[in-house]
Structure 1
Amino acid sequence: SADAELDNVNVFPNPYFGRNPEERNQMNRFVFFTNLGMGTTTIRIFTIAGDMIAKIEHEITEVNTDSRAQWDLRNTAGIPVASGMYIAHIEVEDVGEKVLKLAVFMPEERLDVY
């Protein structure tokens, strides 16, 4: 059923403690949204204040295709997000919606450009 399909959608790792076991280097940070169903999924990431900082479109058209979407922990300007709590609104076309909370603990960053 649609509800069961949405129940399986999750974010990993959560909380994000400065690294993900699948990351290859410190410049390539990310989390996965897992168990996404067939069709188009739109993931919108919001701050606790309600500002949308990222949007991910993910489409699965074939069975046995990777059912994970990746967020690079950057905002729409390409700047790494700050440590904090984030809300992920996940919308699966023709299935429904789900909201997840994500805790992010980022290592200290020194930006050259801001």
Structure 2
Amino acid sequence: MRSTAHSVRAEPRLSCRHRHRRFASAGQVKAAAAAAGDVQVLINNAGISIGSLLVAGGEATIGREMDTNFYGPLLMTRAFAAILGAHGGGAILNVVSALSWFTAPGAGA
């Protein structure tokens, strides 16, 4: 992501800010979206894989994975969609891992 941000910054007509953040609540996501200003592109690139059997993974483990892989992009998309729409449109890119397409023993949770 940083190299992409640097490449975009080199283009004089474009502006790019790379932000690596961890949010604990929908309120924090909304506040970050409001503070971001005029955004044309949102790239959701967060993802984790916790190697644990589905039946062995505790609720906290499964919850952490769901918070990062599902709720994170959902909350970011909802918060930034209003900003993109208010400024005439834009793009939201959700980056996923190859692990989301294949199953592996022990990768259930």
TM-score over 0.5 for the pair: no
Larger radius of gyration: 2
TM range, normalised to the smaller chain? under 0.3
- The two structures have a TM-score, normalised by structure 2, of 0.28
More helix by share: 2
More strand by share: 1
